[in-house]
Each structure stands twice: as C-alpha cells, then as structure tokens.
Amino acid sequence: MNWDIVEGNWKQFKGKVKTQWGKLTDDHLDVIAGKRTELAGRLQESYGITKEEAEEQIKNFEELNQDYRP
C-alpha cells in the first residue's frame, strides 16, 4: 500500500480506517490525514497498545487493502 496515495485520497480512504478502528474520532482522522506514523500514534493512544502492536495492526490493514485504487 502506498501511503502517498492514501494521503492524497484521504477523504475517500478514512472510512476504511474508521471501520477498522472505531475508537478513532473524526478529529483523530483529521489529524492523521493519511500519515502512517500519525495513525500508529493515534492507535497507541486510543487503544492503549504498544508501538509494535500498532505497527502489526497497520501491517494487517495494509494487506487487507493492498488492492486499493482511488
């Protein structure tokens, strides 16, 4: 998954993120704005997980959405 493409199409993509991680608020999604590192940080904060666990969840999410095309 190319995060540059995700960032450029964030409005269309953030619904997938919201579905995957329902604890993320619209404010969180606005701050994340398609940035992978921001997503990892917000996951840690919202779910009380380690950086490694957040990275693993993002990796799984990327695999599920590897065919994403805007």
- Residues ≥6 apart with Cβ < 8 Å to 41: 54
Nearest residue to 64 via CA among 30, 23, 17: 17
Q: Distances from the Cα of 65 to the Cαs of 47, 48, 49, in angstroms?
A: 21, 24, 22
Q: Go through the domains of the chain in sequence order and give each one's CATH number.
A: 3-64 (1.10.1470.10)
Per-residue b/e over 11-27, b at no fewer than 16 CB within 10 Å?
A: eebbeebeeebeebeee
pLDDT at residue 69, rounded to an integer: 65
pTM: 0.88
Q: What percent of the chain has pLDDT over 90?
A: 73
State pLDDT tens for residues 1-46: 788 888 888 988 899 999 999 999 999 999 999 999 999 999 999 9
